């Protein structure tokens, strides 16, 4: 008997969030769905993204019966989370930029937001800034091409290649005078260590793994262990024909069995 925790992302961005929860929970099984058919989200309109997410989550629920789902994608969360809660009765946890934690640790009240175009431009993101960072200067930098780089190359790229692709963002934040940078895209978490190195020790780098994980844990406390799970931890895709990364290899890195298409 266990509780099944579902994760959904446009690709592999949510796996570090899954890893955090695996390390902080017991009696849980994990199911991960990568939106391989429509990766990346950055080139699509908000109505398209909402439609894709609602449809895929519906198949995910029907197939795997998760007790809770983490929408481990900033773009999907700010676009479709409200609609998901209206359409399906299970709890959802979204991933949004860690504005409030960044403000709490910023010494100079000057923070940076590193995300995709969709997240940077979303009204939802601006509302977070207005509500929690009204007394701060927020410098935004969008670099959507990094999502594809991470999806396809993060485990094969050299340190030099990774440093090169994040240098424009690092230069922007250093010139902006920020002392804290938010990784506002789950894919960017894979770049955390290199990004910290390039930025230097005077600039903190944070993401929302801990906040999302703790929120999920609090919701799980109210869910009974009722799932008779024989599958174990699994990784699925929405299209087995379209897989931008080597998903079979990547899923095994996180202790997940590749389950094919949902």
Inter-residue long-range contacts of 255-259, CB under 8 Å, 24+ positions, other chains counted: 255/22, 256/18, 256/30, 256/32, 257/231, 257/232, 257/233, 258/234, 259/231, 259/234, 259/235
**Which helix (H) or strand (E) covers residue 74, if one does?**
helix 74-87
Give the tokens for residue 181. Answer: 């940078």
Measured distance CA(36)–CA(243) in Å, rounded: 5
Measured distance CA(209)–CA(101) in Å, rounded: 11
Which residues are the active-site residues?
73, 185
Residue 138 sits at φ, ψ, to 5 deg, of -115, 115
Angle (CA) 69-75-81 rounded to 5° is 45
- Residue 88: is it exposed, middle or buried by C-beta count within 10 angstroms (0-12/13-18/19+)? middle
DSSP 20: H
Beta strand extents in 40-143 (DSSP E only): 68-71, 92-94, 110-115, 137-142
């Amino acid at each position: 008997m266990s509780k099944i925790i579902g994760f959904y992302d446009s690709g592999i961005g949510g796996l570090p969030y899954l890893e955090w929860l695996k390390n902080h929970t017991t009696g849980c099984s994990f199911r991960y769905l990568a939106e391989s058919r429509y990766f990346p989200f950055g080139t699509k309109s908000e109505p398209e993204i909402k439609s894709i997410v609602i449809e895929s989550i519906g198949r995910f629920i029907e197939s795997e019966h998760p007790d809770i789902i983490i929408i481990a994608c900033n773009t999907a969360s700010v676009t479709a989370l409200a609609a998901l809660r209206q359409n399906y009765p299970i709890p959802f946890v979204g991933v949004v930029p860690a504005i409030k934690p960044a403000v709490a640790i910023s010494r100079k009240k000057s923070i940076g937001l590193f995300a995709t175009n969709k997240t940077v431009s979303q009204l939802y993101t601006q509302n977070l800034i207005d509500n929690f960072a009204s007394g701060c200067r927020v410098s935004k930098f969008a670099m959507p091409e990094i999502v594809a780089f991470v999806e396809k190359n993060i485990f094969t790229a050299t340190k030099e290649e990774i440093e090169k692709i994040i240098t424009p963002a690092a230069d922007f934040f250093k010139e902006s005078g920020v002392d804290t940078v938010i990784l506002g895209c789950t894919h960017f978490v894979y770049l955390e260590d290199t990004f910290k190195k390039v930025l230097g020790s005077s600039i903190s780098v944070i993401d929302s793994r801990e906040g999302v994980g703790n929120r999920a844990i609090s919701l799980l406390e109210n869910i009974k262990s009722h799932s008779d799970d024989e599958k174990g931890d699994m990784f699925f895709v929405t299209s087995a024909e379209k897989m931008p990364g080597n998903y079979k290899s990547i899923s095994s890195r996180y202790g997940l069995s590749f389950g094919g298409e949902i």
